[in-house]
Chains A and B, each alone.
Chain A
Amino acid sequence: MASFELIATIFENLGRRKARVALTAMGVVIGTAAVVVLVSLGIGLQRSATAELGSIGSLTQIQVYPGYGESGPGMVMRAAPGGGGGGGATDQKLLTSEALQELSALPGVVAVIPQEYSQAGGMISFEGLEGYSSIIGIGTNDLGDMGLTAETGTLELRHSTAVIGHRVPENFFDPRQRFEQERPEPPDLMGKQLVLTLEKWEGDGSQSGPTRKVIQLRVIGIIAEARAEADYSIYVPLDDITAINEWVLGRRISRAKEGYSSVLVQVEDVSQALEVADLITELGYQAYTPQSFIQSANRIFLILQAVFGGIGAISLLVAAIGIANTMTMAILERTREIGLLKAIGATNQDVLSIFLGEAAGIGFIGGIGGVLIGWIGGQVINVLAMAFLVGQATEGGPPPSIAIHTPLWLSLFALVFATLIGLLSGLYPALRAATLVPVTALKYE
């Protein structure tokens, strides 16, 4: 039988029995829609979970401190080793410029960024408000290298400018304010001038007060929420911090000899962080990575994948059984028709190709309906869930981001799946009916 003739016959036959076909296709529609909604929900949840976890930039970051050999302290030190310059154990590994090159050569490392904290206590003031945030000198011109993104302005630092963390404005308060008074709205610091007042105590502290130094910083960018240290930090160019620390120490600092007090190593992928940290430790430095966090994050990913993979598989199975059931019934009740076709001269192959074609056609039609309904259902659930979550969201917390997501591949997969299940579930009853002795098929009740 010519394939065109076959396809024409199949669609004619389906067209002649619209009500019956629609009824049979309903089973396919429900199964397919269930698969689409459930898998979309899984994908959506995983995506939002990934977004939440991924936004913690520190997952791809390793904090590296100088190594002090066997005798060195296990604890993290904020300040660089004292002004002695050199001295100490010979197996000391300082974060010199040379060391930076060594680190950047490690596999998976995309950026090596020196970090230096201000060694002077400092108060930041802005229009009568006061704030205390840690000030970090950063050895890169673009904070984007640290996996940060800008909320407003730029992340490219220049001399006498600062890029501030998302929550820095919240740390400003009015010193004249009494306890019971409500806190004012956090100031909008973008493009504003901050005044940094540094203090140091010189000599034996016998003087009447500290020496002060005032520095002006213009805020040129605010970092988007990172859920990490960056949210509470003020970043300035490394040279600016070096100048401050040289003022505090009263001497010049040689990076080639003394190195940096810490270095941020950025790796390409979360999965590499632990491995690279181990390599850095082997080199003799101290490497810190939020590893327990990474491990539990990986566990959560695995559980999420297992749960939604499982739900998807179960819904596929249920859908397949439902489709097979309706298809079997639909073909069984046409056994007499098959007997008649054979009586007027149809071969087994004729019958089989017509009935399998119709089964696949019903699967296809039901698949289209299921994908449409599943997609629409997902959108409706999205809207409802969003409305619910917005109502539930705590004040100042992050906006809800759970969303059903139906990718194109899922729709195509569901369509192919429905067609295939239709075809496969038609196979057994069609084969059975096609090979019946015509008289037996004709007498079938």
Chain B
Amino acid sequence: MMNFWGFSIAEARVIDYDKNDKSLAEMLAEEMPTTRLCIGCGGCSATCTAGNLTEFNIRKLQMLLKRGETKDLRDQLHKCMLCGKCLLVCPRGVDTRKMILFLFRQLSEQDHNS
């Protein structure tokens, strides 16, 4: 990258949703139908025990997952302490805690297989 004027130009970040791997999201929607009910209100993130202490946003992770972007999920999910508060505040009845456990199990299975 040319750095002639002391500035650099960020590499173009293109997210091609059509090419993303949505298999995990599809599996989740299949196994846990309540996760389809999320309206992205952010109630879960607002009350989140971990989210109040560090960079961790469970609403955002859900959204990214649905788009097939699972990198953040891998990096962040284990910060959750499974306290269950998100489950208690969700106005839509999304089974967030069970969803997180399900994702833990899936991720550790994927790690195991690779």
A binds B: no
